[in-house]
Amino acid sequence: MTQTQDAFLVSLGTALPGDPVDNAQLAKALGVSEEWIEVFIGTKTRYFARDFATGEVRWSLADLAASAGQRALDAAGYGPAQIDFVVMGTATPDTLMPATVNHVADQLGLDQVPTYQLQSGCAGAVQALDLARTLVAQTGGTGLVLGGDVCSKHLELREDLGEAAPSELVNYVLFGDGAGAAVLGPEPVGEAVAVRRVLNRLTGLGRKPGQVIEWFGVADRHSDKQAVHEDYKAIEEGVPVMAAEILWELLGELGWEVNELDYLLPPQLSGVMTSRIVAELDVPGATEISCVADTGNNGNALPFLQTEKLLRQMTSGQRALAVAVESSKWIKAGFALEKL
Amino acid sequence: MREIAIVGLDCRFPGAADARAYWELLMRSGDAVGRVPADRWDGAEFSAPEGGDGRANTDRGGFIDDPDVFDNEFFTISPREAAAMDPQQRLLLQCSWRALEDAGIAPASLAGSDTGVFVGIMGNEWAHRHLTDYDKITAQVGSGNGYCMTANRISYHLDLKGPSLAVDTACSSSLVAVHLAGNALLSGECDTAIAAGVNVTVSPALNIFYTQAGLSAPDGRCKPFSAQADGIGRGEGVGVVVLRRLEDALADGQQVYAVIRATAVNQDGRSNGLTAPNRWAQQAVLEAAYRRAGVEPAEVVFTEGHGTGTELGDMIETKALGALHATRADKPMALGSVKGNLGHTEGAAGVAGLIKVALSLHNRVVPASRFAVRENPKLNLAAKGIKLIKAPLRLAAGTSVAGLSSFGMGGTNAHAVLASAPPQAVRPATVEAPGTAGGVFTLSATTPEALRRNLLAQAEELDKRRVPLGRLCWTSNRVKTGHRIRFALPAEDISALSAALRAAAEDDDLLTRHANRPTGRPKAAFLFAGQGVQSPGMTMRLYRESAVYRRHLDAADAALRPHLGWSVVELLTAEDQKVHRTGSAQPALFAVGYALARTMEEFGVEPALLLGHSVGEYAAAVVADALTLDEAARLIAARGRLMEALPDGGGMLSVFAPEAEILPLIHDEPLIGVAAVNGPRQTVLSGDLEVLDRVALELGEADLDMRRLTVSHAFHSPLMQPMLAEFAEVARGIAGVPRLPFYSTVRGRLLRPGEPLDADYWTEHVSAAVRFADAAEALLAAGPTHVVEIGPQPVLGGLVRRLRPPAGLRTLHPLPTRESGRPDLGALLAQLYQDGLDPHWDALYGEEQRTLTRLAPYAFSDAHRFWVKPPTRNGRSGLTVTTAEAADGSGGQVDDDHVVRLAPAGRAAFRGRVAEKVAAAVAAVGGYSLDELSLRSRLYEDLGFDSVTLMELKKDLEKALPETGEVSVPELIPVLGSLGELIAFYEARSDVAADAASLA
């Protein structure tokens, strides 16, 4: 597929729920060791849509995404009428129906426009960007791209997790909640950052999923299946390799030399994993833009949080490349940005 | 070409209580036609399917809900007058108010302006009913009727002094009114214009006429351009738009729904019959409007047609359009008409179409036209370059051009060309720092009940749709002001705000905390704290979050730096413990005090009285213009440096006893002295440590409580002596006089006029006792309403409270805790706003937040209904007033002592024969029930009395209280402030008469 016409990032907004939860709070609530979290996960704080003290769910994914979306619209100075389509990527929709994207649209006053929701893990935001970029290029319209995840459903605050299976335990200390949004349009206005390329490729033929999130209905709600499962060994092994391939594939397609790269937005698995991947990618000339140590792994919000950090420092003519890996069914994802 | 911007609107149409509901009705292709409500006329009596004499062929039409509801109290119109008013006047009043708010204008702020009012109206049915009931014509019935009064009422109640007129060109009236409003704006006759249309049907006369003329649809529905079209159905409605010249609207930051590029009006002249439409005249008016707008017909994307759904009307209208659009057959113009939803709203038809077009351009989608699916083949629309809007039409990004037609029976045609609002310039995103997103949400209302209702209305709106919090708050500060009861709530999160608004509406205690009815403006005293309140990193959160504070602290830092050789801001940013050393503490506290006071002033909080505790006097003196910033910086830097250089060995002792009890014990101790008198039982000693130890023992023996203060030196003591000469040298030449009342803690009193804060004063200040208690008591005696403490954390407020200040005095602090920042500053402003201050809100917000956003408009009370018995053949009218019982059966009351609370009013308030008679007369003349009156009811402002009703009242009272004799108008005028005053006057009069009688 050839990508000829650019789409431009006009503005961006993010939303993190409540106050940050630090490792001491998390360790206490889950009955695990604070040191273990620090050493093996390397994440310092995260945010939860469920109130950590009371257990009450304070925000839905739609609330967070709408909040991010509103910030993005406001930053662009756009009203709802300026938006021609909405694309959202998430692994954790509030309900299977209606799609969360439509609740977000409702909160933002959007109507009479196409909406899309892509069911995906960490690559969902990139997939949404890919679809949005295609729509901008083909229709000349302006779109709102959304991504976010919440783990309220799985954040069971019980103090006996010390005995949980490692494949389950890891999820509690890894994840957080959040959402992001970007306005993508055909003209270089606002932030005026060109989306030069987007990569989205399934590479999981015959490969066992690295991560599984089940969903339950009336008939199987009491099944003893583990709701969230992570093959962290496979992930530790697979993701760094895939990340390097994504980086070099994008650079090659763009015709960019590695020393022309000003910023690198690496996969945000956890503080520890991200540092390891960055070391292996070995692009010392590019400034690393990461957020996972402060935000936790909040899935499809991550690329927006990273890009928000990027936009604060990116100057005219600078280039950035983002790499994301979805380890469920092994999806390669990434995108390239250049500020005009 | 100059364009007119539609900046605000409000409406009520059948099936739609407001503009949002109107748009929802259109987008779902809703049908708002129903049976004639019983309160209009008896459908059965006046209709028959076959028509016939005195009958319509339908008992259906588009009727608005609750045309009888009117918030007369809001507009201070007495129930009796309200009952006599044409409901069209009442609806226009409420709608105009809401449309102005929608435009981001506080309606009261237009008072005295040249704002114009242009009302299109063709139905005078209320007048036909009332002005023929000759026995019942009163003064109120006179002013309650007539076209002119629809516009004049708006001008009167909002105090608008621009052109004010009503237009009747039959069904084109309201678009012609818009045309006149636009011309008045373009010619500079007014800077803001209210253009409106209204139609309330209280008589079947026109239905009968349409039937007799063969124009009435049997099902009461217009079916524009449809094969099903079979005539007109009548509809009601009221719509108001607020118009500005586009350049003015943009300059004032108003949001624009759409622009009117041009309008044109013409006449059929002597055409094919007086009432028949004329194709050539219609074509000419279209051409004229296109020409003036500078558009080619092919640029017009869609047209809101007149579209009455009569065979001849639709034919002629499409022929006229076709003559101009036929050549664009490959890209036909889209055509529809709102009459398919509402019926023909006659005088309001033009504005119904205008609001539909404006919202379509704003929302970038044109609603489907009802009945368009079965297009009338006889119209041959394809050949005319026209397609009907059979499904919602999404408009392309960028500018779309639209047309709007309105034609009047009798031949006056109008057409308008509209276009999308110009795009806002896209600013690069600014990432808001934490703590800078929110603001203070304000609301004002005339009664506690109205406040509650509007709090809920705002909360509901917030739950429906997200708006940026800062913009929301800033807009509320601009628009929602002007009423007696002021509500203010600091807000940092939108969902928390919505919950808090609901909570305040439902909880009287909360409401009392956040709302107040001020009786005047606050008189604020600024009290500057002295040494001891400093802490590492003090005020740095505010420094990060408030650009205003940052600017002023930077200015103080710049002034101090040459004298210090180091930066106060850097010291504080580094959270350096050195701030506790007196050489650092004094300049740092001065900088913080100066910057906080200047920040307060920039927010509109001006001190009326000043007091500084010890070194606090330096910043106070700068605010009083007795020292320049540079002079103060030089003095305080030297003061701190010289004191720090003094040898150690001094200390301070706080003793919880009156100064008089302690003085005898230290009488013979030259090395210590009284450093401060902070309260009647709070005295601080200062001086040589050894002597202090000895004195402490004696004090202990006398059973006095005391506390040793952690200080580096014995401030305000004889031990300061060695630095005085050098300090006096530094201070030489200083001779300023405060321009504000300055309560000196050196003198323990208010400085006399002309008494300077000169070099001698500041030198004496170094070792003199701080006579805080005396100075503060003198200050309290001057009657401040608020004491605002200026310093990094509260301390003086507590001392003031121990002086037993008068009840009602509020002590405030901009930074009540060490973690305080911009939100606490907001809370302080919120309190002062409630208490009557009008802060300079702009200073609280970043530039990108100072942008208007649309808030829910004022929610009027539906407690009162005014209507008339429906007509019968040869029947007579009868005005009725009904008051829906309030849920709690009580009226809202506001008492005088700063507290909003509900107390049932009532007849119990009027004790004694005279009071009862006066209250009864006021109730009768105004049409109030006694429960609605209180001694505090103001005759003009609350009860809507005027010269006419006053004469009536005077006559009634002469009858009811014959002993008072004839009271002259000049006697009466001074006692009309409140009902209580009026009663007192008549009671006195009555007593005099009784005395005279007993003497006789």
Contacts of B394 in chain A (CB under 8 A): 112-113
- Cis check: omega of the bond before B218, within 30 degrees of 0: no
Q: Determine contact: B424 vs chain A, CB below 8 A.
A: yes
Residues with Cβ within 8 Å of B871's Cβ and at least 6 positions away in sequence, in order, are B41, B129, B202, B203, B204, B877
Q: Determine contact: B577 vs chain A, CB below 8 A.
A: no
The CATH number of the structural domain formed by A193-339 is 3.40.47.10
- Return the SS3 of B691: helix
User: Which of A11, A109, A141 lies nearest to residue B465, judging by beta carbons?
Assistant: A109
DSSP letters of B379-430?
A: G-TGGGTEEE--S-EEPPSS--EEEEEEE-TTSEEEEEEEEEPPPPPPPPP-
Q: What is the number of domains present in chain B?
A: 4
DSSP letters of B36-93?
A: PPTTT--HHHHB-TT--TT-BS-SEEE--S-TTB--TTTTT--HHHHHHS-HHHHHHH
Q: Provide the sign of the torsion angle of the four alpha carbons B708, B709, B712, B716, taken in this order.
A: negative
DSSP letters of B868-933?
A: EPPP-TT----EEEEEPPPTTS----B-SSS-B------GGG--SHHHHHHHHHHHHHHT--GGG-
For B216-278, what is the HEC assignment?
ECCCCCCCCCECCCCCECEECEEEEEEEEEHHHHHHCCCCCCEEEEEEEEEECCCCCCCCCCC
Residues with Cβ within 8 Å of B976's Cβ and at least 6 positions away in sequence, in order, are B939, B940, B945, B950, B982
| The two structure tokens encoding residue B205 | 């006369």
Residues B542-586 pLDDT 10s: 999 999 999 999 999 999 999 999 999 999 999 999 999 999 999
pLDDT band at B819 (very low <50, low <70, confident <90, very high): confident
Burial class (CB in 10 A: 0-12, 13-18, 19+), B648: exposed
Q: Which amino acid is at A46?
A: R
Q: A111 and B365: CB-CB below 8 Å?
A: yes
Indicate if the pLDDT at residue B507 is higher than 60: yes
Residue of chain A nearest B424, judged by CA positions: A77
Please report whether residue B863 resides in a domain. Answer: no
Residues with Cβ within 8 Å of B736's Cβ and at least 6 positions away in sequence, in order, are B621, B625, B626, B627, B628, B631, B756, B757, B758
User: Which of A10, A74, A190 lies nearest to residue B468, judging by beta carbons?
Assistant: A74
Q: How far apart are CA A196 and CA B572, in angstroms?
A: 45
Give the pLDDT of residue A2: 42
Contacts of B365 in chain A (CB under 8 A): 111-112
Q: Determine contact: A112 vs chain B, CB below 8 A.
A: yes
Paired with B921 in beta bridges are none
Cα dist. B816→B605, B620, B735 in Å? 17, 20, 35
- Please give the residue that has the higher pLDDT: either B232 or B912: B232
User: Which of A63, A77, A81 lies nearest to residue B426, judging by beta carbons?
Assistant: A77
Domain final residue, candidates B473, B500, B520: B520
Residue of chain B nearest A311, judged by CA positions: B429
Q: How far apart are CA B738 and CA B212, in angstroms?
A: 85
Paired with B240 in beta bridges are B10, B196
Q: Is A251:A262 a contact under the CB 8 Å cutoff?
A: no
Give the pLDDT of residue B998: 62
- Return the SS3 of B620: helix
pLDDT band at B167 (very low <50, low <70, confident <90, very high): very high
How far apart are the CA of A180 and the nearest CA of chain B, in angstroms?
13
Residues of chain A with pLDDT under 70: 1-4, 158-163, 167
Give the pLDDT of residue B899: 37
When pLDDT is averaged across residues B964-978 and rounded to a whole number, the result is 84
**Which residues 177-236 on chain A approach chain B with CB closer than 8 angstroms?**
189-192
**Strand A7-15 relative to strand A193-202, pairing:** antiparallel
Q: How far apart are CA B173 and CA B80, in angstroms?
A: 30
Q: Which of A41, A123, A92 is nearest to A325 (CA)?
A: A123
DSSP symbol at B792:
S
DSSP symbol at B736:
E
Q: Determine contact: A82 vs chain B, CB below 8 A.
A: yes
How far apart are the CA of B429 and the nearest CA of chain A, in angstroms?
5
Please report whether residue B686 resides in a domain. Answer: no
Q: Which amino acid is at B927?
A: G
pLDDT band at B878 (very low <50, low <70, confident <90, very high): low
Q: Provide the sign of the torsion angle of the four alpha carbons B133, B136, B142, B144, taken in this order.
A: negative
**Which residues 294-323 on chain A approach chain B with CB closer than 8 angstroms?**
308, 311-312
When pLDDT is averaged across residues B196-200 and rounded to a whole number, the result is 98
Q: B27 and A191: CB-CB below 8 Å?
A: no
Q: A141 and B397: CB-CB below 8 Å?
A: yes
- Return the SS3 of B516: strand
Give the pLDDT of residue A195: 97
Q: Determine contact: A9 vs chain B, CB below 8 A.
A: no
Cα dist. B372→A24, B340, B360, B390, B483 in Å? 66, 9, 17, 5, 47
| Phi, psi of B917, deg, nearest 5 | -65, -45
- Return the SS3 of A46: strand
Indicate if the pLDDT at residue B433 is higher than 90: no
Q: Which of B351-360, B512-521, B974-983 has the highest mean pLDDT?
A: B351-360
Q: Determine contact: A142 vs chain B, CB below 8 A.
A: yes
Indicate if the pLDDT at residue B199 is higher than 50: yes
Interface test with A, best of B431, B464, B854 (most A CBs within 10 A): B431
For B559-592, what is the HEC assignment?
HHHHHHCCCHHHHHHCCCHHHHCHHHHHHHHHHH
Residue of chain A nearest B361, judged by CA positions: A81
Q: Which domain holds residue B941?
A: 903-999
Instruction: Read off the CATH number of the domain in which B273 is found.
Output: 3.40.47.10
How far apart are the CA of A32 and the nearest CA of chain B, in angstroms?
31
Give the pLDDT of residue B766: 94
Residue of chain B nearest A189, judged by CA positions: B426
Q: Any idea which of B13-22, B589-598, B917-926 has the lowest mean pLDDT?
A: B917-926
Q: Determine contact: B435 vs chain A, CB below 8 A.
A: no
Cα dist. B742→B414, B556, B622, B774 in Å? 68, 22, 11, 13
Give the pLDDT of residue B436: 66
Please report whether residue B864 resides in a domain. Answer: no
Q: How far apart are CA B176 and CA B719, in angstroms?
A: 87
How far apart are the CA of B461 and the nearest CA of chain A, in angstroms?
11
Percent of chain B topping pLDDT 90: 72
Give the pLDDT of residue B868: 82
Q: A76 and B426: CB-CB below 8 Å?
A: yes
Q: Determine contact: A262 vs chain B, CB below 8 A.
A: no
Inter-chain contacts counted by CB atoms under 8 A, chains A and B: 66
| The two structure tokens encoding residue B519 | 């009786």
Give the pLDDT of residue B424: 74
Residues B74 and B125 in one domain: yes
Element (H, E) at B788: strand B786-790
Q: How far apart are CA B52 and CA B216, in angstroms?
A: 13
Residues B496 and B589 in one domain: no
| The two structure tokens encoding residue A206 | 């015959």
Q: A78 and B365: CB-CB below 8 Å?
A: no
When pLDDT is averaged across residues B150-173 and rounded to a whole number, the result is 97
Residues B83-119 pLDDT 10s: 999 999 999 999 999 999 999 999 999 999 999 999 9
Residues B908-944 pLDDT 10s: 678 888 999 999 998 888 888 888 888 888 888 888 8
Element (H, E) at B686: strand B682-688
Contacts of A108 in chain B (CB under 8 A): 465-466
Paired with B709 in beta bridges are B652
Q: How far apart are CA B579 and CA B584, in angstroms?
A: 5
| The two structure tokens encoding residue B177 | 């009114």
**CATH 3.40.47.10, chain A: domain bounds:** 7-185, 193-339
Contacts of B429 in chain A (CB under 8 A): 11-13, 72, 75-76, 190-191, 311
Q: Any idea which of A219-228, A257-266, B359-368, B729-738 has the lowest mean pLDDT?
A: A219-228
Q: Determine contact: B468 vs chain A, CB below 8 A.
A: yes
Indicate if the pLDDT at residue B993 is higher than 80: no
Residues B118-147 pLDDT 10s: 999 999 898 888 887 788 888 888 788 888
Q: B363 and A81: CB-CB below 8 Å?
A: yes
How far apart are the CA of A59 and the nearest CA of chain B, in angstroms?
10
How far apart are the CA of A146 and the nearest CA of chain B, in angstroms?
16
pLDDT band at B952 (very low <50, low <70, confident <90, very high): confident
Residues B556 and B625 in one domain: yes
Residues with Cβ within 8 Å of A123's Cβ and at least 6 positions away in sequence, in order, are A89, A200, A324, A325, A326, A331, A332, A333
Q: How high is the ipTM of this complex?
A: 0.84
Q: B429 and A11: CB-CB below 8 Å?
A: yes
Q: Determine contact: B426 vs chain A, CB below 8 A.
A: yes
Q: Determine contact: B138 vs chain A, CB below 8 A.
A: no
pLDDT band at B900 (very low <50, low <70, confident <90, very high): very low
Indicate if the pLDDT at residue B876 is higher than 50: no
Q: How far apart are CA B36 and CA B176, in angstroms?
A: 29
- Return the SS3 of B629: helix
Instruction: Read off the CATH number of the domain in which B747 is found.
Output: 3.40.366.10
Give the pLDDT of residue B498: 94
Residue range A7-185 in CATH 3.40.47.10? yes
Give the pLDDT of residue B890: 39
Q: Is B74:B134 a contact under the CB 8 Å cutoff?
A: no
Q: B431 and A308: CB-CB below 8 Å?
A: yes
Domain final residue, candidates B496, B520, B544: B520
CB-hemisphere CA count at 13 Å for B975? Answer: 20
Contacts of A140 in chain B (CB under 8 A): 397
pLDDT band at B976 (very low <50, low <70, confident <90, very high): confident
User: Which of B365, B397, B426 lies nearest to residue A112, judging by beta carbons?
Assistant: B365
User: Which of A10, A71, A140 lies nearest to residue B426, judging by beta carbons?
Assistant: A10
Residues B720 and B612 in one domain: yes
Q: H helices then E strands: how many in chain A?
A: 10, 14
Indicate if the pLDDT at residue B904 is higher than 50: no
Q: How far apart are CA B731 and CA B134, in angstroms?
A: 87
Q: Which residue has the tokens 């031949």?
A: B411
Contacts of A67 in chain B (CB under 8 A): 466
Burial class (CB in 10 A: 0-12, 13-18, 19+), A44: middle
| The two structure tokens encoding residue A278 | 């960055």
Q: How far apart are CA B917 and CA B953, in angstroms?
A: 11
Strand order in the sheet with B682-688: B672-679, B682-688, B650-655, B706-709
Residues B274 and B334 in one domain: yes
- The pTM (predicted TM-score) of the whole model is 0.87
Q: Determine contact: B228 vs chain A, CB below 8 A.
A: no
Q: Provide the sign of the torsion angle of the four alpha carbons B223, B226, B228, B231, taken in this order.
A: positive
Residues B485 and B621 in one domain: no
User: Which of B365, B423, B429 lies nearest to residue A190, judging by beta carbons?
Assistant: B429
Residues B206 and B248 in one domain: yes
When pLDDT is averaged across residues B271-290 and rounded to a whole number, the result is 92
Residues B473 and B599 in one domain: no
- Return the SS3 of B213: coil
Q: Which of B343, B58, B342, B352 is nearest to B204 (CA)?
A: B58
Cα dist. B688→A287, B429, B583, B648, B665 in Å? 61, 61, 20, 9, 15
Catalytic residues of B: 171, 306, 344
How far apart are the CA of B809 and the nearest CA of chain A, in angstroms?
37
Indicate if the pLDDT at residue B958 is higher than 80: yes
Q: Determine contact: A338 vs chain B, CB below 8 A.
A: no
Residues B375-401 pLDDT 10s: 999 999 999 999 999 999 999 989 999
Q: A142 and B397: CB-CB below 8 Å?
A: yes
Interface test with B, best of A10, A60, A74 (most B CBs within 10 A): A74
Give the pLDDT of residue B895: 38
Residues B107 and B236 in one domain: yes
Give the pLDDT of residue B193: 98
Q: How far apart are CA B645 and CA A306, in angstroms?
A: 53
Indicate if the pLDDT at residue B903 is higher than 50: no
Q: How far apart are CA B993 and CA B65, in angstroms?
A: 54
